[in-house]
Amino acid sequence: MATTDPASSPVTTNAKERPTAFSSLRHRDFRLLWMGQIVSVTGSQMQLVAINWHIYLLTGSALALGLVGLFRAGPIILCSLMGGVVADVIDRRRLMMTTQTIMLACSGMLALITFNGLRRVWPIYLLTAIASAAWAFDTPARQSLMPSLVPAKDFPNAVSLSMLMFQIGMIVGPALAGFILGNFGPGVIYATNAASFVAVIAGLALMRTSGRASERESDKTRVSFAALVEGLRFVWHTPIIVQTMTLDFAATFFASANQLLPIYAKDILKVGAQGLGVLAAAPATGAVITGLVMARLGTLKKQGLVVIVSVAIFGAATIAFGVSRVLWLSLLMLAIVGAADTVSTILRQTIRQLATPNNLRGRMTSVNMIFFMGGPQLGELEAGALAALFGAPFSVVTGGVGCLLAAAIAFGGRTLRRYAGTVSGKQ
């Protein structure tokens, strides 16, 4: 299997080298990771819907829903930077096996206490926080490992298929969650998610690719404050990475409608738990279609401008969803939200990974996690607070407006708007 490092030289893709829609799946170890994660992501998306519904049933509070975002984002912000350093030092496969086991245990414990008649929300918050801390170490390891699983020419396709895999899970997971919630309750979903982590652990165990950055590079890096500063310095002095991260944070902070879907399902659209599953799956439906198209297209021209336009469409569709009172229109707008987010995310991740040397990818990814995950999770807290004060529609609409403003500011800059798609890795 080829293990070309995309950061070792400038990366370009011409029309003759354009990959097929599933070219990265030819590589065994990437295929193992991809297939295992389809199962795990489906379970995790089921649990996200179940937790939101469970908390709203227990409390009836929009603010309590928003607090879920705080308990997800807090550990990510606190732990992700160190998670990136660790991912650049130790075997990334072994690190992922450890974090996946911790998340399995959290879901299993959540299932156990739910089956025993959970009546308070604090255990849900606590276990969510522990799982998020594990995830803060897992994500830098996973994203840093991926460029080692495919050659450089197939990496954009691998990113597209990874997004597609997540979106498949986001369609199937919420749809299953809606059915199971309506018939069996959240405990069954928590238990199912616990079992789903086994698929990733098994795939990691079967891989042949080394999980280390490289013996030479890893020997130079130790888990230390200096290593952390080195990663921060690299990100700060790479403008294209900084701009993609800040735009990501602003857009996802303002446009965080997902956390309020239980309110829309129960009180505004009046479609109940099963309708919640359909609403939660709608963004992923648009994302899957878009992901398939992106996987086939290969490298796009004017990638920076495409990112900005995608963020603007994301904000406009969020506003339209916020004012909708008709189910079909709400579903359509959520599908457009998912499609726009997919285009933007695929391009941003490709740009960042190919602009970063292998021995710094964990730390770059960990910095990005603060933006990528901190934005939506803190945005969920902000959205919940605004919804509690002024109502869910006001919260969603103002969030969409904020997203449009972020896109306008990004368009006024130079680096991202003029970025054309050729990336040189720094050494």
**How far is the C-alpha of 337 from the C-alpha of 322, rounded, in Å?**
12
- pLDDT value, residue 20: 67
**How far is the C-alpha of 14 from the C-alpha of 299, rounded, in Å?**
8
Contacts 24+ apart (CB under 8 A), 180-185: 180/46, 180/50, 181/49, 181/50, 181/53, 181/273, 181/274, 181/276, 181/277, 182/272, 182/273, 182/274, 185/114
The model's pLDDT over 194-233, given as tens digits with 9 standing for 90+, comes to: 999 999 999 999 988 766 655 555 455 566 677 788 888 8
pLDDT value at 189 more than 80: yes
φ/ψ (deg, to 5) at 97 = -60, -40
The model's pLDDT over 140-171, given as tens digits with 9 standing for 90+, comes to: 899 888 888 888 778 778 888 887 888 788 77
Q: What percent of the chain has pLDDT over 90?
A: 31
Q: Which residue has the higher pLDDT, 275 or 374?
A: 275
The average confidence (pLDDT) of the chain is: 83
Nearest to 47 by CA among 124, 117, 121: 124
Local structure of residue 211 (DSSP, 8 states): -
Nearest to 200 by CA among 308, 92, 109, 123: 92
Q: Work out the angle between the directed axes of helices 92-115 and 186-206 (0-180°, nearest 10).
A: 160
CATH tag, 19-206+223-412: 1.20.1250.20
The model's pLDDT over 66-120, given as tens digits with 9 standing for 90+, comes to: 788 789 878 888 888 888 888 888 888 999 999 999 999 999 999 999 999 888 9
Q: In Å, how far are 179, 307, 333 from 245, measured between CA atoms?
A: 36, 12, 25
The model's pLDDT over 338-389, given as tens digits with 9 standing for 90+, comes to: 999 888 888 888 778 777 887 788 788 888 877 777 677 678 778 888 988 9
Least confident of 186-190, 273-277, 400-404: 273-277
Domain locations along the chain: 19-206+223-412
